[in-house]
Structure 1
Amino acid sequence: MKRIINPDLKLKIFIMAGLIGLIGLSFGCNKNFDNVLPESFKNDTAGLGSNRKKVLYIIMDGVKGSVLESITPANITTITQKAIYSYDGLADFQNNQLTNAAAWTTMLTGVDYTKHKVISENFNGLNLQATPTIFTRIKESLGNVRAVSIAASAGFNDNLALDASVKQTVTDDAAVKAAVVEELSTNDPSLLVAQFHSAEVEGASAGYTTTTPGYTAAIQNIDGYVGEIMKALKARKTYATENWLVVIASNKGGGASAGGSNIYDDLSRNTFVAFYNPKFVVTAISQPDISNLPYFGTAPRFTSNASISPKALLNSNTNIGNFGVSGNFTMMFKMRDDLGTASGFPPFLGKQVTFGSSAGWDFFRGSNNVQLSFTGASTLNGTQQMNDSKWHTYAITITTSGSTRTTAFYLDGVARSSTNIGVTNRDNTAPLRIGADLGKNTNFMIKDLAIFNVAMSPAEVIKNMRIQIRPENTYFGNLIGYWPFDETSGTLAADASGKGNDMTYSGPVQFVPFSEISPNISPEISAAAYTAVPNGVDIPILIYNWLNIAVPSQWGLMGKLYVPTVTFPIN
């Protein structure tokens, strides 16, 4: 018969008994660890009693979590049945540059690049006084205990294991396994770190995929080594009186990013993480459903009628929006139309001296849909109803080939129509303008107006019209102007392209907060979505807790504590 005991309950009992005096301490699997434990406090995080706490920390370079999940290697899969684990782990929850050295440093210091400064494989920037490793912290906190590092990569030991009691750099992963088994069989380590590198070598050479034989074979070999190590661990003569936390974690994944702001789409960051003890209740952690995250922010509302006509105007540079007689361009924006009823063709975005009657172009409401008109050319019609109080995405490309200039019109990620606008010069001195003429009824909000000096491919248009453009975007350098419309007050609509082409609000523009689920938009994702799964930076926090080492706020650790639920046999 077994009973499940939550460690929080045990902590409350300790408090009631007067054994500790902590104020405002809160533990939880998905809560940040407040790092306020006094130095005198000796944790019993897992509530597993006073047996000797020890840590086995296995690092698997380049093992992508999704691949590990697909091939289900026997030993690691068995370990997940008594572990907190995730195949959706992340090497890094920010967009820091990722290398083996950077990932190792994060996993051993508990801080990311913004603090440890390591990017290059030669560890330039590393300052171990400012960001000590777990070897240093354990030596300072526990004194003369045995902390061992066995690595297949010399850079790992030479830079990060300086304060290990013992460090061995060996020739390959098989030698790492042999040395770890020997250490467990003959010595008494409190911390034993093993670093395997073969999967990274194979992945970097041929690809980090399930269809790469050398890569999957390397992972299976590592799994076999894990099995032998676990067998040696449990064969220790003192095992029954010891409490081992086994951490198995990828330093990073491998492969390219799908682009955009979603870190989960960057395959190089996808890792496997498991915290194992035979008394842990299995806890699987998956990434949140990004498709159901709300699109939120603040946007300017342009409500016009017979008495008011608010606008945003680009008066400082009237060349912006002129497309000339040659060249290639892309323009995109997001809009939510709240008018509801059909309207009398009000233009809401364009560049014309007088909307609808002079050289230039304009987007306008055609009854219940959105249309685009180039003076002297056919009108492009979106056909579908857009005045439904939902966010929609719009884009056009202009592609020049000789005397043919083709404009393609996209709505909500679909190419709707196209036409040849010819080589007529429609340039004018009117400012780029958002907002209708007086007497025209509108009620809309707009976001992320971007104009590029390149015609994107259909696939690139469809991808980019869903997102907010960031400096790391492939086409950021092609921006002519970019207006996110993130303002919450004032008269300036800032140009985020760096070109300085700010727009000016005039009239009664409202700044309206919004939050809604939109199938047409890939919203910006907060850091909370990426810290919902185990990250490399989280691992030292649990190791310190397991070894009863208090973690003061002065250490500046950036991870969070994963607290296991445990089972106890009842005699």
Structure 2
Amino acid sequence: MGNKKMIMKKQLFYKMFTKKRYAFAGLAIGLGMAVASSCNKPFPNIVQNSRDSSGLSSYIDSSVANGDNKRILYIIVDGATGSAINTITPPNIYKLTRNSIYTFNGITSKVPADSSLEGDWASLLTGVSSLKSKVYDSFDSSQIAQYPTLISRIKAVAPTDRITAFSASQTFNDELATGADIAKTFTSDADVSDAVDQNLAQDSAKLVVAQFHGPYAAGVQFGFDPGIAQYRDAISNTDTYIGNAIAAIKSRPSYSKEDWFVIVASTVSGRNALPPDAGINGSIDFSYYGQPQRNSFILFNELNGRFVQRFVQRPGSTAGTSPYDVTAFRLIGTWKSSSSFPSQRILINDPANKYSCPYGSSMTVEAKVKFNNLSQTNFMSFFGKSTSGNGRGWGFFRTQAGVPNINFNAGNGVVRKEVSLNGIQDTKWHTIAASFRWTTNKTIFVNVYLDGVLSASGESASDPAAVPAAINNSGNPLILGWFNSPSYGTVPTNLDMYITDVRIWNTELSPETIAQYSCFIGMPPAQHPNIQNLVGFYSASEGSGTTVIDGAPNPENGAVETLYGGVTEWNHLSEASNAICGPATDNYYSLTPNSVDVPYQILTYLGNNIQPQWSFDGRFWTTQYNDQVFEP
């Protein structure tokens, strides 16, 4: 094979990006090794540049070390979602992925303000979010002077390096291409493509920026759905322009002596874009990864083919990744509650019996629970509307001491069904749920869930009445915490726990819906398929006072009750649990390439030492070096 088809090396190594003071180097790898990773850390900036007296020059390919030969083609594609590109598989982009770091699961921004096209443009050129650049829906309040574009930063260090920019948007050109040696706007993507090709074939520019707008325009007009012909064709047209640009680079007389770095980055799309995926492990994704308008495609390619392919998948759900920060009311009580045994609980009156289940209807109840005491829980009820664990009404209760199960009972005084969840054997947060309904055979059918997983089902005997009585304990409040009822046996029964996020529905939720929303914190979102059936929601996280707010329509607020020396005790808790989808952190969003990463990548590749005072919000991405070079 010729030199352009394969480069054989005795020393295999991590791909190294040189800076003015530093370079990146790594360990040797085996022949033909490919890497695909979804959890990555920034590559450390610890090795000096080969042009310094570091002793590493023998490990660095001369074409890589020589910054004079570096060239970058930066292609920005407005509105082409990562999921759409993954579905369409445009041939030229697909070829580039073979020797690239790339993702279909990038996000255009990690802050709400960047969900606009102008804000994303700014992030792609400045390396900071809109919180810093102040570019939201327009550039009226722009702080670009304080956070310059990568064009300005390159010119500040190397004013003679040529930069050219060709765009389909006058706003992009006027606001973000300032300082380029050539900055032109065209009325169509086809004209942008022609100008880019001509420039690439002849110019000596270090950086060539091309901005295409066709997919965004088609998406706004017809929909951001790869199944829609106009949107699909717009992405395919852009792929053709990308192929033409690559061909123009390879036609350069000096191409064999140059080291070309190609970046393709898509921008924010529209709110009618299809979701990037259906969720992780059955759950709905409430993070920015699940917001289709933020879903982007980003690719970093070294055109000589020496990158080992690295596909960066999005991380899983946020369950267990960050603490559940909540200030909850401590619920305590004992079967011998008296002046020597204090009690603290929450009572919610139900004068309209909206928390009952009349014959012919159904209900679902959910809550997050944390037990501080796993012993001495002899049939202690803790959440429900009944006088005792197996009485009339419905409720959850702990079983006998030494058995960590939680049981749920639903009955009308004539028939009942008691079903056991899997045991909770730790003091972490968990989500419990039960759905129950009357059947046409006058039986009560119950499903119980732990952390979104169906644990057990059961059905009662048939009620002989012509019209069975409701599953309800009329006149009794809904109780969170200690129930004033006798204990079974002689074992003292102590309760010490927290309950939050209580949701009550006047319908039976499907197992799929319960699984999807089980780990969600707070008021169920508007897209919940049964949101119209929510009749009670108590976050029980007020943090102070004696009122517990009902966030559902026609609210019935609850009240803290303290007996026998109990106190109003709100405690701040901050604990991670695999059953709770905590808020996503900045680190969580940094696990895939984002818009703010691109300027960091470009400036590093060109040898610019990233300065802390620049306050970049992005990070640097690396892959490994491949000894076999296949031309894309």
Shift of 1:363: 2.9
Residue 159 of structure 1 aligns to a residue whose secondary structure is helix
Matched, 1:371 2:408: yes
Distance 1:128 1:504 in 2: 56
In structure 2, distance between residues paired with 1:511 and 1:88: 35
- The equivalent residue for 2:155 is 139
Q: d(CA) in 1 for partners of 2:586 and 2:414?
A: 46
Deviations, residues 419-462 of structure 1 (Å, cap 9, x unaligned):
9874978355x684324568653677555423468869646555
Where 1:201 maps in the other structure, the secondary structure is: helix
1:202 is displaced (CA, Å) by 2.6
Which residue is equivalent to 2:367? 333
Number of aligned positions between the proteins: 543
TM-superposition CA deviations, 1:389-440 (whole Å, max 9, x none) = 58653346899xxxxxx99865244595799874978355x68432456865
Partner of 1:57: 74
Which deviations, in whole Å up to 9, do the C-alpha atoms of 1:191-232 show, x marking residues without a partner?
211111222223333343442333222222211111110111
Tell me, in whole angstroms, the C-alpha distance in 2 between the residues paired with 1:325 and 1:350.
10
Q: 1:32 to 1:77 in 2, by over 3 A?
A: same
Quick one: structure 1 residues 539 and 447, their matched pair in 2 at CA, closer, same or farther if it must change by over 3 Å?
A: farther
Summarize deviations over 1:313-339 as a string: whole Å, max 9, x none.
347x86799747899997521236798
Query: Is 2:299 aligned against 1:267?
Result: no
Q: Of the two, which has the highest radius of gyration?
A: 2
Q: What's the counterpart of residue 85 of structure 1? A: 102
Distance 1:421 1:33 in 2: 69
Pairwise CA RMSD: 5.1
CA contact (8 A) 1:410 1:416 kept: yes
2:213 corresponding residue in structure 1: 197
Equivalents in 1 of 2:526, 2:570: separation in Å?
Answer: 30
The 10-residue stretch of structure 1 (440-449 or 498-507) with the greater mean CA deviation from structure 2: 498-507
Which of 518, 529, 533 is equivalent to 1:465? 518
Q: What amino acid is the match of 2:481?
A: I
Choose from 18, 38, 42 the match for 1:31: 42
Q: Is the counterpart of residue 285 in structure 1 residue 311 in structure 2?
A: yes
Question: Is this contact kept in 1: 2:357–2:470, CA < 8 A?
Answer: no
Q: What per-residue deviation string (whole Å, max 9, x for no partner) do you get for residues 118-140 of structure 1?
A: 332x4453322233222222233
Q: Tell me, in whole angstroms, the C-alpha distance in 2 between the residues paired with 1:320 and 1:10.
A: 72
TM-score, with structure 2 as normaliser: 0.69
- Among 188, 197, 204, the residue aligned to 1:172: 188
- CA 1:433–1:425: 2 relative to 1, 3 Å: closer
Match of 2:383 in 1: 349
Q: Residue type of the partner of 1:554?
A: Q
TM-aligned CA distance change 1:125 to 1:326, over 3 Å: farther
Amino acid paired to 1:219: I
Which residue number in structure 1 is paired with residue 199 of structure 2? Answer: 183
**Distance in 2 of aligned mates of 1:512 and 1:546:** 45
TM-score (norm 1): 0.75
Q: Structure 1 residues 474, 73: CA separation in 2 closer, same or farther (over 3 Å shift)?
A: closer
5 Å matches for 1:362-511?
A: 362-365=395-398, 368-373=405-410, 379=416, 381-387=418-424, 389=426, 393-395=431-433, 411-412=449-450, 413=452, 422=470, 426-427=474-475, 432-435=479-482, 441=493, 446=498, 448-451=500-503, 458=510, 462-469=515-522, 482-483=538-539, 506=566
Contact 1:321 1:432 in 2 (8 A): no
Q: Give the secondary-structure state (helix, strand or coil) at the position aligned to 1:222.
A: helix
Unaligned stretches of 5+ residues in structure 2: 1-7, 24-38, 279-283, 438-443, 461-467
Q: 1:359 to 1:80 in 2, by over 3 A?
A: closer
Mapped to 1, the partners of 2:17 and 2:126 lie a distance apart of 30
Give the Å deviation of 1:272: 1.6
Summarize the Cα distance change of 1:493–1:138 in structure 2 as closer, same or farther, 3 Å threshold.
Answer: farther
Counterpart Cα distance in 2 of 1:461 and 1:321: 26
% same residue: 23
| 2: CA distance, partners of 1:115 / 1:496 | 38
Structure 1 unaligned segments of length 5 or more: list them: 16-27, 400-405
| Distance (whole Å) between structure 1 residues aligned to residue 120 and residue 136 of structure 2 | 9
- Alpha-carbon distance change, 501 to 108 in structure 1, aligned in 2, over 3 angstroms: farther
Task: State the partner residue of 2:345.
Answer: 313
Q: Aligned-pair distance for 1:184?
A: 1.5
Letter in 1 for 2:522: I
| Cα separation, 2, equivalents of 1:172 and 1:236 | 25
User: What is residue 274 of structure 2 aligned with on the other side?
Assistant: 255
Distance 1:460 1:260, change over 3 A: same
Secondary structure of 2:164's counterpart equals strand
Secondary structure at the counterpart of residue 136 of structure 2: coil
Q: CA deviation at 1:177?
A: 0.8
Distance 1:431 1:463 in 2: 26
Rounded Cα–Cα distance in structure 2 between residues aligned with 1:549 and 1:160: 20
| Whole-angstrom distance in 2 between the partners of 1:302 and 1:184 | 70
Q: Which whole-Å CA distance do the structure 1 matches of 2:221 and 2:179 have between them?
A: 33
**1:241 CA displacement:** 3.8
Give, in angstroms, the shift of residue 553 of structure 1.
1.4
Q: Secondary structure at the match of 2:596?
A: helix
Query: Alpha carbons of 1:145 and 1:512: their partners in 2 closer, same or farther (altered >3 Å)?
Result: closer
**In the superposition, relative to structure 1, how do residues 96 and 297 fare at CA in structure 2: closer, same or farther (>3 Å)?**
same
8 Å Cα contact 1:53-1:244 kept in structure 2: yes
What letter matches 2:13 in structure 1? I
Separation in structure 1 between the aligned mates of residue 593 and residue 550 of structure 2, nearest angstrom: 33
Moved more, 228-237 or 208-217: 208-217
Assess, with a 3 A threshold, how the Cα gap between structure 1 residues 527 and 384 changes in structure 2: closer, same or farther.
same
Quote how far apart the aligned CAs of 1:286 are.
2.5
**Aligned-residue offset at 1:385:** 3.7
Higher deviation after alignment, 217-226 or 466-475? 466-475
For residues 336 and 473 of structure 2, the distance between their equivalents in structure 1, rounded to whole angstroms, comes to 34
Distance 1:376 1:4, change over 3 A: same
Say which SS state the counterpart of residue 84 (structure 2) adopts.
helix
8 Å contact kept, 1:324–1:427 = no
Using a 3 Å threshold, how does the CA distance of structure 1 residues 126 and 497 change in structure 2: closer, same or farther?
farther
Distance of aligned partners of 1:7 and 1:286 in 2 relative to their CA distance in 1, 3 Å threshold: closer
Whether the 8 Å contact between 1:51 and 1:241 is mirrored in structure 2 is no
User: Match for 1:363: what amino acid?
Assistant: F
The reply to whether residue 542 of structure 1 matches residue 601 of structure 2 is yes
